[in-house]
Amino acid sequence: MRRKIIQVNEELCNGCGQCIPGCPEGALQVIDGKARLISDLFCDGLGACIGECPVGAIEIVEREAEPYDERKVMARIVQQGPKVIAAHLHHLEEHGEKKLLQEALDYLKEQGLENPLRHEHRMESHGCPSARSMSIKREKDREREKDREIKATKGRVESRLANWPIQLRLISTFAPYLEQAEILLSADCVPFAYGNFHEDFVKGKVVIILCPKLDENIDSYIEKLSEIIKINRPKSITVAHMEVPCCFGIVHIAQEAIKKAGIDVELKDIMVKISGETAAFA
């Protein structure tokens, strides 16, 4: 069958192994100094491992592959203990894989094993970080608040937004502001995490937003962004996304759209941490 599955670029992979904990299904192993997909049966194609790779060596592709087998995955996972079981179940739950989740729960019941998702503290400890509830503790909050008060006396922060609409589904591919523009392709959580979003990211750019985790039909996003690139030939695309694994999918969307358009476009990658700090990649 033809389905989505991960692929490792062996030239980029440095064998660090950081992707391994991100794949509780056990589809990845480091062999001969490289991360390798050991069996199509164990890869669900959801890409939780992508965000763990520091060199961008993992991507999701669509190819002929053996069907993913939840029962075989569970047989491997239960041997690793309740924490790994919880990580896998919550992974399925957060991606809306109800059928696979039910298969996993049925397997646990058949084996007389406990469902760790019934315990809230385990769900929060091992769930997908893109949906995990947390309070963010910041250093020197009082000093920062004083700085904000001082800046507030100088006037309100000005919006730098220069285009509307901003959601990719709503933007016309022939909008005049897109022609040879510098595009900011941003995950829609970024402005809430990064305080100086307008000055540092939006200023001088055309803004396009989307959510690679919750929005449906990502392939349509690739198609539309590809059309925008072909018609308008932008000068650059800056991708801004959160540090959570699922958000790295926006980089994949941009890369595939550029490839599909067949036009050389400068691509910049900026990751925003939940704490508000940034890290830039080539």
Beta strand spans in 65-221 (E): 182-187, 206-210
Of 53-62, 115-124, 260-269, the range with the lowest mean pLDDT is 115-124
Amino acid 124: pLDDT: 45
Amino acid 282: pLDDT: 54
212-229, pLDDT tens digit by residue? 888 778 888 999 999 999
Of 36-45, 152-161, 233-242, the range with the lowest mean pLDDT is 152-161
Q: In this structure, are 193 and 85 located in the same domain?
A: no
* Mean pLDDT of all residues in 49-66: 87
Domain that holds residue 224: 157-281
DSSP state letter for 242: E
Domain count, the chain: 2
90-106, pLDDT tens digit by residue? 778 777 788 888 899 99
Q: In this structure, are 120 and 60 located in the same domain?
A: yes
The DSSP annotation for 45-81 comes to S--TTGGG-TT--EEEEEEE-PPP-HHHHHHHHGGG-
Q: In this structure, are 201 and 275 located in the same domain?
A: yes
Does the pLDDT of residue 236 top 90, yes or no? yes
Amino acid 20: pLDDT: 85
- Among residues 224, 216, 230, 158, the alpha carbon closest in space to that of 185 is found at 224
Residue 281 bridge partners (DSSP): 269
Domain boundary (110, 126, 142) is at: 126
Q: In this structure, are 97 and 170 located in the same domain?
A: no
Q: Read off the CATH number of the domain in which 162 is found.
A: 3.40.50
Structural domain contains residue 258: yes
- Count CB neighbours of 190 within 10 A: 22
Beta strand spans in 65-203 (E): 182-187
Q: In this structure, are 10 and 110 located in the same domain?
A: yes
